[in-house]
Structure 1
Amino acid sequence: MKIIYVCADPGIPVFGCKGASIHVQETIRAFRSQGATVTLIAARLGGAPPADLTDLVVHQLPAVPKGDLATREKRLLALNADLQDLLFALAPYDFIYERYSLWSMGGMATAQQLGIPGILEVNAPLIEEQATHRDLIHTDLAQQVATQAFQGATALIAVSAGVKAYLAQWAQSDRLFVMPNGVNPKRFPQNLRRQTTTDQFTIGFVGSLKPWHGLDILIDGLMQLHQNVPEARLLIVGDGPQRAVLEEAIARRHLTSQVQWTGAVDPEAVSYWLGQMDVAVAPYPASETFYFSPLKVMEYMAAGLPVVASAIGQLTDIIDHGVTGILCPPGEPQALAQALEQLWRSPEQRYKLGQAARTFVLERHTWEHIAEDILAIAQGAAKLTLLP
């Protein structure tokens, strides 16, 4: 089976360190592990591919320079013509798999014209996200792109029930499938965790330091925890736009010596840093529109770490409270501190939670399982297109 994978989002360096980058790479790996041949079309590469993807055929879309936002949006929209020209030139292939981006509709349109399945993966309501957290000028054009892409797709892969509910305004339920993020078991061996004789209690966070990750809540929780557990320290793996603000908040609370920053790390290095943690956290704030499928939580669990996370959105489906992790009310530092202190006091509970979490995620949420399901959808859709 020959697959064209499209990522036309200039904000995603497909060979970079972001969660979205890892998602792209792991999906491609999983398709290839199922015997498929994959060709990648991307707007942004972000450096050289990992060693196991150096033989991947890659086509890069023309770069759109930064500048006036209104002009940039229209230029990104115009890239659909370049995308479609390339897709027609690469034919024949079995189906197009595209990660939905704000200005791209060419992949699904081309699949329709070629009479093959077009599968669109949707990770977020990007129009609302862009308007809320960044800037968006041509909202009407973005809406038109979404309508054409969502209605033109043979199947829509939503990463969470929240995203599926969002997509229901464009598609019937028989075209909507929920597939949360997964893990690659090869990156998380059984004996990943460090062996230490120190009393240090390391709380870990992995992520890109965005406002919606709840790190301000984590810092407040650490301050409260430190009063009862002075050996507690925080390990932050990642970098992002909130770092300077967070460093100031940490300094005001006199916690600078208790916090270690790694900066951005390659995906291959994440497992090492997870092995340095005693507990991992996902302290999301309260939100009425939580639609994420947090990759970090899946990877925490695969590493055999006990997880403390906010009881919100998909996390309540992934984490069985008291069995595969601990859930806290979102946005409450005191509850977070209490949960962490509980785990500090009980190494046995930490071990049991971590092992149960690892078993759960490796049995149900691997990228290979996801790829199998996607290929089954594509094959089923292909059979329907061949019917007279």
Structure 2
Amino acid sequence: MNNKEKNKTALFVMPRKSSAWKGAEAMWITAGGWAAAAKRLFGEAIIFTNDTSATPKEILSYPVNSSKDKNQKKRSILVRYSPEIIKTLYKDFLLWRASKNGTLYNHKAVIKDQNISLVWEQHDLFPGIGYKLAKKYNVPFILYVHAPQVWETSKWGVKRPIWGKIIEKIEAKSLKRADLVACVSEQVSQKLIEMGVPKEKIHISPMAVDPHLFDDINSNSIKRKFDLNNKLVLGWTGSFRSFHGLDLLIKTFDQVLMAVPNAILLLIGDGKEREEIEKLVEDLDISENVIFAGRKSFIDVPKYVNAFDVAIVSARSSKDFHYSPLKLREYLGAGIASLAPDAGEIPKTFIDNLHLRIYEIGEIESTSQIIIELFRDQEKRQILGKNGKEFILNNGTWDVELDKALKKLNT
């Protein structure tokens, strides 16, 4: 790449405030990953939220803390005791209003006289200013979709009678005007086509990692803190939600302990189902072998992952498994022997017994046997870790995904 191409700026739009998406940090991580790759390619990348701007490195620490004024607190109390459908409607209204107010942020002062190369935006219920910026600078507009929001949240039980259809039409309009719609999986791609997005605009771009985040990581402090030395650690990161099937993981680990009594299950994350999972652990009388480490910032996660002997992606069902697990890429990028379910894009992307081990969801006995075998075979763990990391470095980095998207735009 010549100097003229190198001295360009890629713009990234996150159509919410910098304090948003707590519990869904993958949104910020995705933007940070793409932006870091764009900075390496073009020379500069700026990420805009509805209230500020940030660098690719800064965005990895989002969401930032936000203080609420007294009126906000009063409204929050009123909403808290309202029916769930009213809470959803109220949140959607606030998000719609924020999307409108976000256009008032002074982006022009930040961009100044820079040579803009492309505009990338995280898809949301309501669009941000990405499309307008792309039109203004006459550059390609990429819209990144983890999943259409009305469709995905309905799978979680969120109900939007009447207004949900209206919002989905807004989503469809936003999607169709992008030059390229990058999505995480084939299932999401099919939904986009149903929403009217031309197939030729759709580009499947799974989650990826920045391998530099796992360079020279020392987890000794983590091992000392949780007394993990001379233990065999099964690790998991994520949110305590039903679709992750953590109850199945706990029952599987209970079986593992019968064969490997010095095993530890280290859970990194938090969520509304944590209390239920903690109770299940107590009921099975395995509390001494299960550690709830809580939610950690993204930049601290590699230290914990590096403390795992074996890592696992959990799931409740293979049905509607539409997402691309970021945590799996992180495990592999760290060189950790990993297990993942036979669901979604995983068996199409990775080779069982070469890059990782694939297990059948709900098959507690067979899954526990795979974990036991890996715990007992250090050489096998090392081979899987080495192969998995090599695969990610060659195929699963944000730089690779950016390159593929740009090639798609130019075809």
Of the structure 1 ranges 128-137 and 243-252, higher mean CA displacement relative to structure 2 is found in: 128-137
Name the SS of the counterpart of 1:76 in structure 2.
helix
Select the residue among 216, 220, 230 that pairs with 2:247. Answer: 216
1:132-155 deviations in Å (ceiling 9; x for gaps) = 325343202211211111111111
Kindly state the Cα deviation for residue 10 of structure 1 after the two structures are TM-superposed.
5.7
1:76 pairs with 2:95:
yes
1:107 pairs with 2:130:
yes
1:171 pairs with 2:194:
no
Of the structure 1 ranges 85-94 and 239-248, higher mean CA displacement relative to structure 2 is found in: 85-94
> What is the aligned partner in structure 2 of residue 53 from structure 1?
58
Name the SS of the counterpart of 1:141 in structure 2.
helix
Kindly state the Cα deviation for residue 330 of structure 1 after the two structures are TM-superposed.
1.3
1:201-242 deviations in Å (ceiling 9; x for gaps) = 110001122221121111010111111221111001122222
Select the residue among 249, 261, 269 that pairs with 2:280. Answer: 249
8 Å contact 1:157–1:178 — kept in the other structure? yes
Percent identity, please. Answer: 21
> C-alpha distance in 1, partners of 2:54/2:266?
27
C-alpha RMSD over aligned residues? 3.4
> What is the aligned partner in structure 2 of residue 119 from structure 1?
142
8 Å contact 1:18–1:208 — kept in the other structure? no
Select the residue among 8, 28, 34 that pairs with 1:27. Answer: 34
Query: Structure 1 pair 6/175, CA: closer, same or farther in 2 (3 Å)?
Result: same
Kindly state the Cα deviation for residue 370 of structure 1 after the two structures are TM-superposed.
1.9
Query: Structure 1 pair 191/222, CA: closer, same or farther in 2 (3 Å)?
Result: same
> C-alpha distance in 2, partners of 1:3/1:112?
14
Select the residue among 106, 121, 125 that pairs with 1:98. Answer: 121
Name the SS of the counterpart of 1:177 in structure 2.
strand
Name the SS of the counterpart of 1:337 in structure 2.
helix
**Paired residue type of 1:140:** K
Query: Structure 1 pair 37/11, CA: closer, same or farther in 2 (3 Å)?
Result: closer
Name the SS of the counterpart of 1:248 in structure 2.
helix
Name the SS of the counterpart of 2:45 in structure 1.
strand
Query: Structure 1 pair 85/209, CA: closer, same or farther in 2 (3 Å)?
Result: same
1:273 pairs with 2:292:
no
8 Å contact 1:13–1:44 — kept in the other structure? no
> What is the aligned partner in structure 2 of residue 150 from structure 1?
175
Name the SS of the counterpart of 1:288 in structure 2.
coil
Kindly state the Cα deviation for residue 80 of structure 1 after the two structures are TM-superposed.
4.1
Select the residue among 32, 35, 45 that pairs with 1:38. Answer: 45
1:238 pairs with 2:269:
yes
Gaps of 5+ in 2: 1-7, 60-67, 80-86
> What is the aligned partner in structure 2 of residue 5 from structure 1?
12
> What is the aligned partner in structure 1 of residue 213 from structure 2?
187
1:200 pairs with 2:231:
yes
Query: Structure 1 pair 123/11, CA: closer, same or farther in 2 (3 Å)?
Result: farther
> C-alpha distance in 2, partners of 1:321/1:302?
17
> C-alpha distance in 2, partners of 1:341/1:94?
50
Length-normalised TM-score, structure 2: 0.80
Name the SS of the counterpart of 2:125 in structure 1.
coil
Query: Structure 1 pair 253/229, CA: closer, same or farther in 2 (3 Å)?
Result: same
Of the structure 1 ranges 176-185 and 11-20, higher mean CA displacement relative to structure 2 is found in: 11-20
**Paired residue type of 2:197:** A
8 Å contact 2:332–2:392 — kept in the other structure? yes
Length-normalised TM-score, structure 1: 0.85
8 Å contact 1:14–1:25 — kept in the other structure? no
**Paired residue type of 1:275:** N
8 Å contact 2:233–2:308 — kept in the other structure? yes
> What is the aligned partner in structure 1 of residue 82 from structure 2?
none
**Paired residue type of 2:300:** A
Kindly state the Cα deviation for residue 357 of structure 1 after the two structures are TM-superposed.
0.5
> What is the aligned partner in structure 2 of residue 140 from structure 1?
165
Tell me how many residue pairs correspond in the alignment: 374
> C-alpha distance in 2, partners of 1:265/1:324?
27
Name the SS of the counterpart of 2:401 in structure 1.
helix
1:303 pairs with 2:334:
yes
Of the structure 1 ranges 276-285 and 97-106, higher mean CA displacement relative to structure 2 is found in: 97-106
**Paired residue type of 1:53:** E
Name the SS of the counterpart of 1:124 in structure 2.
coil
Query: Structure 1 pair 276/104, CA: closer, same or farther in 2 (3 Å)?
Result: same
> C-alpha distance in 1, partners of 2:303/2:45?
29
